[in-house]
Structure 1
């Protein structure tokens, strides 16, 4: 126990450089202790092999304590418990029904509908410029995922500006606006589902209405509204990934030049960006279902355990020269944990990848003189759980 390093999530150095802080803990021990104000300490696995194994280990499960519970109107509560919070067999059933709509092939087929959304946002960028710079987080990375979700679930064009506002509010994560946005999302989802029952189209809801398992099982309306809520909640990942990616590329001119020279590297580059500067620093907590001995330390039943993704994704046991950013890096046998792993691997990972590829490809093509307009260290959010920016001012 005394050999287990402790990481204080209020330590300014941990917040400023989580990759360094978690990396030092990783090289001392495969297990660390996270100190979080107001909460019981949590265990953290720091090495790639252990973290990956834990994310698929049935001895550790998600429960209600894994998730923040915002204050929302009572009639919204039936829709708040998403697939992320479920364990087998309930989780397996829902995953089986919805997974066909989120395959790599379906994401690739959706690319032509993402491209014009990105182009429209880029068309508008010069108009948002203030004193020669424009905030890419505010005017590209933040609206894009919500616009894509609206296209995916068939939200009518006149309603989409309102859904953009919902997305920004949900991304902020709490407060009065959050409680007000949730009923609007639920109401809009119910209306979209009813519309697609009457008039099926080429979108996710129509797919899910058509889907019926061999045993006759299918999603009910509550489950479909919950899925839309899950998409809004989890679909914000590309916001932070795209912003982090632009900052990383503009801060590494050699890598930016390599990607401009060979745009075919973009799929590899997005995987490397997810590994090297992905938003998720720490996984959602799992709770031990029984006493488990990990590296000589007893993790007791009911105690929380986290995968330190920031440490695992730069583990030299899994990646060669892991602190080097390399857009041509191939994944290798290990693979990053930026979209988690196991039964709760991110359902929308393929869609997030395609969105990010499309956004970066078009941005670099349209604005060859793109440059940062502020020092990156001044743009970071003081968030110990998510690697993200508060703004991204650039000159076009």
Structure 2
């Protein structure tokens, strides 16, 4: 919760990284944790099965689950906590393997690719309507472009009816900005709504992701329960639209602040996929992992981490590690040539690699290309250092704008 880390995570975590590869601190709920700061160590631990996501996976664990502190902070009703604590983000093999395998049968590369024409259609419609939202010539690109694009795409994928999508965006805002006064009512409403969505879809199956998961319930191999479907849908819709919206807004702000790089992108449209990777490295919205736990005594870069201790993997310092990248503080769109494997940690790595990474990349590719083609003279309405990050949104581990004012 240090102000130094929340206002300048790039510099703050960078100083920690150069101080030591592993430092001891506290998570936002007060849990003591080991912060791992350097690229090679973070990447290795993302693949290390001795680091688990669920405290119960630590042999000999006794006492209260430390994650319950966060549930208390968020005012999540006790009977609904399994919908957050039981997601794929918070499970370990073999349960994680079963859930991920089942979901991946429906969340295929083909399904994501087939969404591209719809993404392009939504993008065009939103861009055409931007001038209508201008006040004194200034339009908030986060509110009127990045957010509606990401929520509509993820809801199209899942099968959430269009009239209900604004509610999902509000629910997501309540959760991601940690508003306990609203979550006490909005989270139960979201869970009940998703159960009702399953009941309706079961009676009228379509070709969306939710219908595919429901069909899979009849399979003897890898079946999935209604509760698990609800948990997955809630995780996918909320995490998927929120992070993608801020990848687009952070990336747009970065490009508008670096005219030479933007000129390069405009003259080399084939470089857009690599540019998305660089923007994810340079200004991605997620700066740390969730807390993980040592299932046995570990040694990381010469530091002993006792069994049961919490570990926080710091993506932002790893992605700026000069041991891995030349001139890491520079935004350099040619850093990730086409055809090379992804080398940043913005989407994680290992068995918990972001399930929606391919969809997020595709949305960002379309969003950036279409925006700068449709509005070649777009510019920021204020200096980059004056862009507002509301206090509510200054959450440890996240990098999100409050708004993105532009003149188109």
TM-score (norm 1): 0.90
Partner of 1:5: none
Residues 225 and 123 (structure 1 numbering): CA distance in 2 closer, same or farther, change over 3 Å? Answer: same
**In the alignment, is the contact (CA less than 8 A) between 2:155 and 2:237 conserved in 1?**
no
Q: Which stretch shifts more, 205-214 or 316-325?
A: 205-214
Residues 35 and 183 (structure 1 numbering): CA distance in 2 closer, same or farther, change over 3 Å? Answer: closer
1:200 matches 2:205: yes
Partner of 1:166: 171
CA RMSD of aligned residues (A): 2.3
1:249 matches 2:255: yes
Partner of 2:76: 72
1:284 matches 2:290: yes
Aligned-partner SS, 2:75: coil
**In the alignment, is the contact (CA less than 8 A) between 1:19 and 1:311 conserved in 2?**
yes
Residues 146 and 82 (structure 1 numbering): CA distance in 2 closer, same or farther, change over 3 Å? Answer: same
Cα distance in 1 for partners of 2:176, 2:375 equals 27
Residues 98 and 40 (structure 1 numbering): CA distance in 2 closer, same or farther, change over 3 Å? Answer: closer
1:307 matches 2:313: yes
Cα distance in 2 for partners of 1:38, 1:85 equals 17
In the TM superposition, what is the alpha-carbon distance from 1:394 to its structure 2 partner? Answer: 0.6
Partner of 1:394: 406
In the TM superposition, what is the alpha-carbon distance from 1:57 to its structure 2 partner? Answer: 1.2
Aligned-partner SS, 2:304: strand
Aligned-partner SS, 2:280: helix
Partner of 1:26: 17
1:46 matches 2:52: no
1:124 matches 2:115: no
Aligned-partner SS, 1:305: strand
1:167-225 CA distance string (max 9 Å, x none): 33333232222232223322332233223322222211122223379853321222111
How many residues were matched structurally?
Answer: 387
Please give the residue correspondences for 1:1-396 in structure 2 after superposition, counting only pairs within 5 Å.
9-12=1-4, 14-35=5-26, 39-63=30-54, 65=66, 68-69=70-71, 70-73=74-77, 76-80=80-84, 81-211=86-216, 216-235=221-240, 236-330=242-336, 335-381=343-389, 382-396=394-408
**In the alignment, is the contact (CA less than 8 A) between 1:142 and 1:168 conserved in 2?**
no
Residues 221 and 37 (structure 1 numbering): CA distance in 2 closer, same or farther, change over 3 Å? Answer: closer
Cα distance in 2 for partners of 1:77, 1:220 equals 17
In the TM superposition, what is the alpha-carbon distance from 1:121 to its structure 2 partner? Answer: 2.2
Aligned-partner SS, 1:33: strand
Residues 171 and 297 (structure 1 numbering): CA distance in 2 closer, same or farther, change over 3 Å? Answer: closer
Aligned-partner SS, 2:105: helix
In the TM superposition, what is the alpha-carbon distance from 1:92 to its structure 2 partner? Answer: 0.6
Residues 53 and 126 (structure 1 numbering): CA distance in 2 closer, same or farther, change over 3 Å? Answer: same
Residues 25 and 165 (structure 1 numbering): CA distance in 2 closer, same or farther, change over 3 Å? Answer: closer
Q: Which stretch shifts more, 185-194 or 64-73?
A: 64-73
Structure 2 unmatched ranges of 5 or more:
55-64
**In the alignment, is the contact (CA less than 8 A) between 2:123 and 2:370 conserved in 1?**
yes
TM-score (norm 2): 0.88
Q: Which stretch shifts more, 89-98 or 206-215?
A: 206-215
Cα distance in 2 for partners of 1:113, 1:334 equals 26
Aligned-partner SS, 2:49: coil
Aligned-partner SS, 2:198: helix
1:125-163 CA distance string (max 9 Å, x none): 211111110111122222322222221122222223333
**In the alignment, is the contact (CA less than 8 A) between 1:281 and 1:386 conserved in 2?**
yes
In the TM superposition, what is the alpha-carbon distance from 1:344 to its structure 2 partner? Answer: 1.0
Cα distance in 2 for partners of 1:368, 1:224 equals 43
Cα distance in 2 for partners of 1:116, 1:188 equals 28
